[in-house]
Structure 1
């Protein structure tokens, strides 16, 4: 689903790959190098990507976006999640995804946000934004964009876009709406004890004497495939208010040069 509208202006290893700290979190915040053919500054095309959290209560990890050739598929509904998507969806760990970007020539440019994206109401009182603008550059061989971010108060949920077209003209803007997915790699216990610790910190829902976990639990491993996320159903101690209506995020992409 696309349109040309503008957005209104108005596991503790959380992206150990790059930058800012929030309690125990190490968070991202970088434009990753363009693959092959020179630096970002010398790339033929530049894009501004604005990602917004549309959920009432679900925080996201700092979003990652990549401009790439059509041969790249970061994730696909009905397929098993690869290691980068599993690590992101279960543990908020973007390091394997950063490695994938840096070692895949068909990914021509990428960027990662500086901070988590919280709902616009900021239920945890974090002061974090609900949207962020990212800039990336890529040569003309990059015709598609993918986006992923963890749904933090889930076992293995993420929000994403899989290989959507990039704008072709300067000043052309398109807005995509992204839904939540279940990676199919961990059972949905909906228990704070099985979620990353930041699920409590970023939502303001503190579960006494429950720390959460920074690692995948083999006992909860699920040999499934990526499917649309069923949401929060109330089977564990997570409040059902953590559920959301789709779409979970909007992603505006504008070609700026």
Structure 2
């Protein structure tokens, strides 16, 4: 039986910022009930601390998605179409579809919105030798379909006490035109996910947003602009 995250719907950002939680560092064994041979690829339990820091001036980040999956999985590839799961997250901040992907074995979610200048940490556990690759993803809330993260981080060779550090770029999912008007975040309170794709329909480096100082009708102020990198990810093996 598949287990779903409680979705972080785009129209409740203000409530989330006020303190609504999605999941507080909870883990879900997505395929545990369906895998008759689930024990054959198990190994000793490895524990990692993952910390994500929001480096932007004024872009809140949606509840962060952390997933453990197999080596062949990439949640996104620049130049290729975004999956439906990435589209839903990038347009509305809902990470539940990522957790449902068949390649995902364990899934964790952030504790609500990650505000600029703040960090969140998780203790994650890997028990399956074929699922030692980590992906981290989150939406830049005051955008049409910008997201950031890193996909396919190999944890298998990290020794106890050692760390890895990454900074991440902002990607455009390519699924929603960047009009800076119909935004889901607290700056605008507009529509989030819409299944219609009206942009280039491929993932690419985000060109940045236009504020009301540059574009008439933009719901964004100059402080909402961003440049790369937008987050820092630190991973330390604890056990």
**Shorter-chain-normalised TM-score: which range?**
0.7 to 0.9
Residue aligning to 1:206? none
- Whether the 8 Å CA contact 2:137–2:149 is kept in 1: the answer is yes
In structure 2, which of residues 29, 35, 57 is the aligned counterpart of residue 33 of structure 1? 29
Report matched runs for 1:35-114 at 5 Å. Answer: 35-36=31-32, 37=38, 44-100=45-101, 104=102, 106-114=103-111
The 8 Å contact of residues 89 and 158 in structure 1, kept in 2 or not, is answered as yes
Deviations 1:155-200 (A, max 9, x none): 0000110212225211111111111100000000011xx111x332
> If the length of structure 1 is used for normalisation, what is the TM-score?
0.74
Q: CA RMSD in A?
A: 2.8
The equivalent residue for 1:203 is none
Equivalent position of 1:225 in the other structure = 202
Distance 1:96 1:114 in 2: 17
Q: Any conservation in 1 of the 2:61–2:141 contact (CA below 8 Å)?
A: yes
Per-residue CA deviations over 1:117-162 (Å, capped at 9, x if unaligned) read: 1112xxxxxxxxx111112112232332211000000000001102
Matches within 5 A, 1:155-234: 155-166=144-155, 168-191=158-181, 194-196=182-184, 198-200=185-187, 211-216=189-194, 218=196, 221-234=198-211
Which digits, 9 at most, give the CA deviation of each residue in 1:68-95, with x for residues without a partner? 2211111111110000100000111122
Structure 2 runs not aligned, ≥5 long: 1-6, 33-37
Unaligned runs of 5+ in 1: 1-10, 121-129, 201-209
Match of 2:132 in 1: 143
Q: Which residue of 2 aligns with 1:241?
A: 223
3-state SS in 2 of match to 1:174: strand
Match status 1:254 vs 2:231: no
2: CA distance between counterparts of 1:21 and 1:238?
A: 20
Which residue of the other structure, out of 106, 110, 115, is the alignment partner of 2:112?
A: 115
CA contact (8 A) 2:63 2:114 kept: yes
2:9 pairs with 1:13: yes
Please state how far the C-alpha of 1:221 moved relative to its aligned partner. 2.1
Question: TM-score scaled to structure 2, two decimals?
Answer: 0.80
Number of equivalences? 216
The equivalent of 1:124 in structure 2 is: none
